A and B are shown apart, each in its own frame.
Chain A
Amino acid sequence: MSERKYVTTVGVEVHVELATRTKMFCSCLNAPQDVPPNTAVCPVCLGLPGSLPVINREAVRLGVVAALALNCAVNDRIWFERKNYMYPDLVKGYQISQIVSPLGGNGWLAIIGDDGEEKRILINRVHLEEDTARLSHAGDNSLIDVNRSGAPLMEIVTEPVMRSGREAEEYVRKLRAILVYNGVSRCRIQRGEMRVEANVSIAPEGATRLGVRTEIKNQAGFNHMRSAVEYEVRRHAGVIESGGTLHQETRGWDDANQRTFVQRSKEDAHDYRYFPEPDLPPLKIDPAWVKEIGAGMATGYEDYVRGLLDHGLSPADIEALSRNDALGFLRLAAADMPEKTPLFAKRLVKDVFALANSTAMALDESKLRPAAFRDAALLLENGKIAAEGFRTLLDLLYREGGAAEQVARGNQLFVETDHGAVEEAIRKVFAGNAAMVAEFKAGKTAVRNALLGRTMKALGKKADPRVVSGLLDEALKNA
């Protein structure tokens, strides 16, 4: 096989679940996997007769944020269509989606192309829709969890402009980083919050028409997608060169055997009978609102990363922040005090990522919120809590959530600023360790550290070593 004779063309469709509080068309909690199955449901997302959808403004806002972050034009009048097909995970027998008038389109995202130059991956469309329920299969039975039904979903479709599996992988990694950074979606792959499909075709060099394409569905990870695309490129070339015929079809990726397999041929493709959703009148997207959203958006992802270097962060720290999906978190934490960015970055890299390791729970799975993290870091910085208290506080916020001050107070983590209380503790330690005090007086100054340790212990996490140390020395002098 001589792949060089062919030009590879790849287009990518990505679905992401939007990070809204409630669902796309009802006020049920959008937290499909955080509550017991079938508890975040109502007549609307169950598709009961007579129930009607109402568009979630926050989902539209996040869609606009995504569109702007991807350099798309936002349409000022959009509408939804019904996409009709029957399956047990689709409660109404149709999905409310968009076909004719997507929220945005004509955008781009820059990657480093195979030739080492910057390359713009053109975005054809960004549209909004609703997710389906989740099916799981147990023996002869299938179980339906309707929690995910109606969750807000965004589809981002590129033009067929990528030339390799590597470019496709780079595109989806960059796309994910941008969406996470902008708070559009948490994009947790393992939770299905980001799902990727690639369309692959090859054509002889110089050909004016694209070859027959295959669509590869739902790869579990970005490297799987790249492997699947590369496999398809080899398979297509093999079929062409052996005189065979390629069929337009949908294929899945078998990672164990490193190959794709047929899922659905074109003949079995659905006729979705799209038509305008009569329950939702067209939606006007006020350009002034779009402008306002744009103005409120953070610095672009790439500018932000460059800015971090200017703040003196090391490339290694930036890489760690990026790997842990913490850039958006950092930006939010430092939103009101950008000058503190290096401090927060240091705490994230040093303390928070350590927690991620020790708890085996990634930052975006944790209960830690940017504002709580910021406040905790400031409490340490301002000496309101000590290092040990900070670690305890962070651990609590990470596992259980809450506001920093409140949790610190509830767990008595504030350092004792009342000298009287410290002096009282020292008096008690002296009283209980009269022999040691006598030894100190006799010139055996090494027992001072033992006395300090006992006082610290008596005070617990409230103890600020600097304060205790100073007061202890004074007390010893006067003893």
Chain B
Amino acid sequence: MPIAKESYASLTLEETLAGLRAGSFTASDLVGAALARIERFEPAINAMVTLDDAGAKAAAARWSRDAIPAGDAPNLSGVPVALKDNIMTRGFRTTCGSKILANFVPPYDAATVEKLRAAGAIIVGKANMDEFAMGSTGENSAFGATRNPWNPELVTGGSSSGSAAVVAYGGVPAALGTDTGGSIRQPAAFCGLVGMKATYGRVSRSGVGALGSSLDQVGPLTRTVRDNALLYDLIAGHDPSDSTSLEQPFTPTLGEIEDGVKGFRIAYDPGLLESEGVHRAHADAVRAVVAMVKDAGAEVAEVSLPLVKYGVAAYYIICACEASTNLARFDGVRYSVRETGADMWDTYSKTRGLGFGEEVKRRIMMGSYALSSGYYDAYYLKAAKVRRLFATEYEKLLSGVDAVLLPVTPAPPRPIGQKCTPLECYLGDVFTLVANMAGIPALAFPVGAHDGLPVGVQAMAGYFRESALYRLARTVEKNVKLPDAPWARPIPEGGK
């Protein structure tokens, strides 16, 4: 059956590749359809900070059918993708969602972008995000909030808000985000997508605007588990330009993805699901996955997840400390927006005062305070010790099981503009930041819908066991239907 042209962009990554290889459509058709869909959805959603229409069209023209490598080898030749706007693109504006970088054009590509380009991907533009990845709603952007394609009255989650939204409304089949405390997984869950936060050091951080350097990882957001594994396989691996990148050999995950979970030992924490603040639909989703994996031949174990209640406090200290110094370079001297003041110090404070948003300033202050003389031991050092405990405790727990299931967030997405205190916002990261604190991989994937909104579940595994997570999620995916998903909807009427 021929595919309607306007639906090209809503195809999965694998379908897109197959279509290009079969000659059902060309890369130019695909990019044209993607840009058309993006243009129609953007006024309502605001997923993109900067679009590269001309660049994408020019790149697509180079991918004639003959140019697409034949065979099944995963690649992205002619496939449009979007990048979170803290991932550096050579010669193309990269703002990190901040006014202070509103005119910043990096002279280099991030390592992951080099890999995507080498694989043939076409970058259609840069996706909206919470400023410097600080936020879990997508509202802390200097370029306006991103709205949830499932229901534009709600937030997308964050901080990879635009990456999630543009994939969810069918603008592109895949996008890259970054995850410091849940910034891929949480918007993935709120938008019905699959989102991977890999083992710390698995994906190069080179060329990624840093939030918490010891916590950040780049990862894919896609509509299917297989697509996610395909993209992850392309960006993972050792990078000598990132000293925290691991030299551990990398085996592609896609080859094992259909192997199922038979013989897996999968754990969950029943008590956690009963705890206060956990939405029933989110707890039920975990229970549903427990039942599915049991049916698929996995052994299920009940465990008590350690340290969860200490996570938010420790995480927000470490992250703010690192962010406070990572952002010190934005002083208006060499690049970025400058607000000239009476003297040097005045220029610094005016530039930073006007360039940074409220949440960024809050974290710079928290981090500077926690690192300062007399407070270091009580805050940073203690938090670092808690982090060490996370690593050892979770390594111990995950040495005995293949995966642990837990909710992605306690609660569903809030309405746009509904105020919450910083602490209330931070508490939303309680389940996701565990993986960042422990350095372990975690995957969010959709398991169904509730009240017209998708509900996701999260699985964590031991170091380098991304493959187990994909096998689990792929097993579950076969039982899941997401009715009326935005990517399957027709292009909205009206608009331009």
Q: Is A bound to B?
A: yes
A43 touches B108 (CB 8 A): yes
A402 partner residues in chain B, CB cutoff 8 A: none
In the complex, the answer to whether A82 meets B325 with C-beta atoms within 8 Å is yes
Closest to A38 in B: B334
State whether the Cβ of A6 lies closer than 8 Å to any Cβ in chain B: no
Instruction: Considering the complex, give the chain B residue whose CB is closest to the CB of A55.
Output: B243
Q: Shortest distance in angstroms between B361's beta carbon and chain A's nearest beta carbon?
A: 15
* Chain A residues whose CB sits within 8 angstroms of the CB of B59 once the complex forms: none
**CB distance A271 to B373 under 8 Å?**
yes
Q: Mark A61-91, 1 if CB is under 8 A from B, else 0.
A: 0000000000000000000001010101001
B209 within 8 A of A: yes
Report Cα–Cα, A479/B376, bound state, in Å. Answer: 97
Output the nearest chain B residue to A279 by Cβ-Cβ distance: B213
Would you call B207 and A51 a contact (CB within 8 A)? yes
- In the complex the two chains form, is A50's CB within 8 Å of B207's CB? yes
Residue B107 at the A interface, CB < 8 A? yes
B164 close to A (CB within 8 Å): no
Is residue A52 contacting chain B, with contact meaning CB distance below 8 A? yes
For A93, give its contact among B207, B212, B328, B384 (CB under 8 Å). Answer: B328
Question: What residues of A have a CB within 8 angstroms of the CB of B210 in the complex?
Answer: 49-50, 279
- A142's nearest neighbour on chain B, judged by CB, is B344
Interface residues on B, range: 35 or more
- Which residues of B in the span 182-225 have a Cβ within 8 Å of any Cβ on A? 205-210, 212-214
B236 CB-CB contact with A under 8 Å: no
Which positions 148-199 of chain A face chain B at CB distance < 8 Å? none
CB of A401 within 8 Å of the partner chain:
no
* CB-CB nearest in chain A for B369: A273
- A245 nearest CB across to chain B (Å): 24
Encode B372-388 as 1/0 by CB contact (under 8 A) with A: 11001000100010000
Q: Is the CB of B371 within 8 A of A273?
A: yes
B243 to A54, Cβ gap below 8 A?
yes
A48 touches B244 (CB 8 A): no
Across the interface, do B110 and A52 meet the contact criterion of CB distance under 8 Å? no
Please state if B214 and A278 are interface contacts (CB–CB under 8 Å): yes
Smallest distance from the beta carbon of A278 to chain B beta carbons, Å? 4
Measured in the bound complex, the distance between the Cα atoms of B215 and A256 in whole Å is: 54
- Which B residues are in CB contact (< 8 Å) with A43? 106-108
Within 330-366 of B, Cβ neighbours of A (below 8 Å) are at 330-331, 333-335, 344, 348
Roughly how many angstroms separate A94 CA and B334 CA in the complex, as a whole number?
15
Task: Tell me whether B139 is interfacial, beta carbon within 8 Å.
Answer: no
Q: Is the CB of A93 within 8 A of B329?
A: yes
Contact across chains for A92 and B334 when beta carbons are under 8 A apart: no
**Contact of A280 with B243 in the complex, beta carbons under 8 Å:** yes
A276–B384 Cα distance when bound, in Å, is: 10
Cβ of B322 within 8 Å of any chain A Cβ, yes or no, is: yes
Is residue B283 within 8 Å, beta carbon to beta carbon, of the partner chain? no
A47 within 8 A of B: yes
Supposing A273-B371, A278-B322, A281-B244 touch, asked if A52 and B205 sit within 8 A by C-beta, the answer is yes
Tell me the residues in window 96-120 of chain B with beta carbons closer than 8 Å to chain A beta carbons.
96, 101, 104, 106-108, 110
Asked whether any CB of chain B lies closer than 8 Å to the CB of A144, the reply is yes
Are B328 and A279 in contact (CB-based, < 8 A)?
A: no
| Interface assignment of A460: CB less than 8 Å from any CB of chain B | no
Chain B contacts of A275 at CB under 8 A? Answer: 321, 325, 371, 376, 380
B284 within 8 A of A: no
A109 interfacial contact with B, CB 8 Å: no
Interface string of A34-55 (1 = CB under 8 A from B): 0000000001001111111111
Given contacts A50-B209, A54-B241, A278-B214, contact A93 B331 (CB under 8 A): yes
CB distance from B192 to the nearest CB of A (A): 30
B334–A50 CB distance below 8 A: no
Residue in A closest to B214 when the chains form the complex, CB atoms = A278
B88 at the interface (CB under 8 A from A): yes
Annotate B49-91 by CB proximity to A: 1 below 8 A, 0 otherwise.
0000000000000000000000000000000000000111000
Contacts of A94 in B (CB 8 A): 325, 328
Q: Using Cβ atoms and an 8 Å threshold, which residues of chain B touch A50?
A: 86-88, 106, 110, 205-210
Which A residues touch B207, using CB under 8 A?
A: 50-51
State the Cβ distance, B105 to closest chain A Cβ, in Å. Answer: 11
A46 and B322 contact, CB distance less than 8 A: no
Residues from chain A with a CB closer than 8 A to the CB of B321 are: 275
Main secondary structure of the interface of B (DSSP, over half): loop
Contact present for B325 and A273 (CB under 8 Å): yes
From B329, B333, B348, B384, A49 is in contact (CB under 8 Å) with: B329
A84 contacts which of B87, B243, B371 (Cβ < 8 Å)? B371
Min CB gap B92→A, angstroms: 14
- Of A92, A273, A276, A279, the residue contacting B368 (CB under 8 A) is A273
Contacts of B384 in A (CB 8 A): 276
Report if A281-B209 is in contact (Cβ < 8 Å); known contacts: A273-B368, A273-B371.
Answer: no
Which of A49, A52, A274 is close to B243, meaning CB atoms less than 8 Å apart? A52
B242 within 8 A of A: yes
Pairwise interchain contact B243-A91, C-beta atoms closer than 8 A: no
Quick check: A91 and B241 within 8 Å, CB to CB? no
Q: Is B23 an interface residue (CB 8 A)?
A: no
In the docked arrangement, what's the CA distance between A48 and B108, Å? 10
- Chain A residues lying within 8 Å of B325, measured Cβ to Cβ, are 82, 84, 92-94, 273, 275
CB distance from A275 to the nearest CB of B (A): 6
Q: Which residues of A contact B106 (CB under 8 A)?
A: 43, 48-50
Tell me the minimal C-beta distance from A273 to chain B in angstroms.
4
Contact between chains at A91 and B334 (CB < 8 Å):
yes
CB atoms of B372 and A47 under 8 A apart: no
Beta-carbon contact of A53 and B243 below 8 Å: yes
Chain B residues 300 to 340 lying within 8 A of chain A, measured CB to CB, are 321-322, 325, 327-331, 333-335
Q: Are A92 and B242 in contact (CB under 8 A)?
A: no
Q: Is B240's CB under 8 angstroms from A54's CB?
A: yes
Given A273-B371, A280-B243, A47 contacting B213 (CB threshold 8 A): no
**A281 CA to B212 CA in the complex, in Å?**
15
B residues within 8 A CB of A82?
325
CA distance A78 to B496 in the complex (A): 60
A285–chain B nearest beta-carbon distance, Å: 15
Which residues of chain A are within 8 angstroms of B110 by Cβ–Cβ distance? 50
Q: In whole angstroms, what is the CA distance A50 to B373 when docked?
A: 28
A279–B207 Cα distance when bound, in Å, is 12
The residue of chain A having its C-beta at the shortest distance from the C-beta of B332 within the complex is A88
Measured CB to CB, the nearest residue on chain B to A46 is: B334
Q: How far is A274 from B321 in the complex, measured between Cα atoms in Å?
A: 11
Nearest to B335 among chain A residues (CB) is: A48
Given A52-B243, A279-B244; A86-B348 close (CB under 8 Å): yes
Contacts of B96 in A (CB 8 A): 49
Query: For A49, what are the chain B residues with a Cβ–Cβ distance below 8 Å?
Result: 86, 88, 94, 96, 101, 104, 106, 209-210, 329-330
Q: In the complex, which residues of chain A have a beta carbon less than 8 angstroms from the beta carbon of B86?
A: 49-50
In the docked arrangement, what's the CA distance between A82 and B207, Å? Answer: 19
Complex Cα distance A146/B335, Å?
A: 13
Q: Which residues of B contact A55 (CB under 8 A)?
A: 243
B residues in contact with A273, CB < 8 Å: 325, 368, 371-373, 376
Nearest chain-A residue to B336 (Cβ)? A49
What is the bound-complex CA distance between A465 and B209, given in angstroms? 70
Residue of B108, B329, B368 most packed against chain A (CB within 10 A): B329
User: Shortest distance in angstroms between A59's beta carbon and chain B's nearest beta carbon?
Assistant: 14
Within 8 A of A (CB), among B384-425: 384
User: Would you list the 3 A-B pairs with minimal beta carbon distance, nearest first?
Assistant: A93-B328, A273-B371, A278-B213
Seed contacts A43-B106, A275-B325, A278-B213; 19 additional CB < 8 Å A-B pairs: A47-B329, A48-B335, A49-B94, A49-B106, A49-B330, A50-B86, A50-B87, A50-B210, A52-B242, A54-B241, A84-B328, A88-B331, A92-B329, A93-B329, A273-B325, A273-B372, A273-B376, A279-B210, A280-B244
6 contacts between A and B (CB under 8 A): A49-B210, A52-B241, A52-B242, A273-B373, A275-B380, A278-B213
List chain A positions with a Cβ less than 8 A from chain B: 43, 46-55, 82, 84, 86, 88, 91-94, 144, 146, 271, 273-276, 278-281
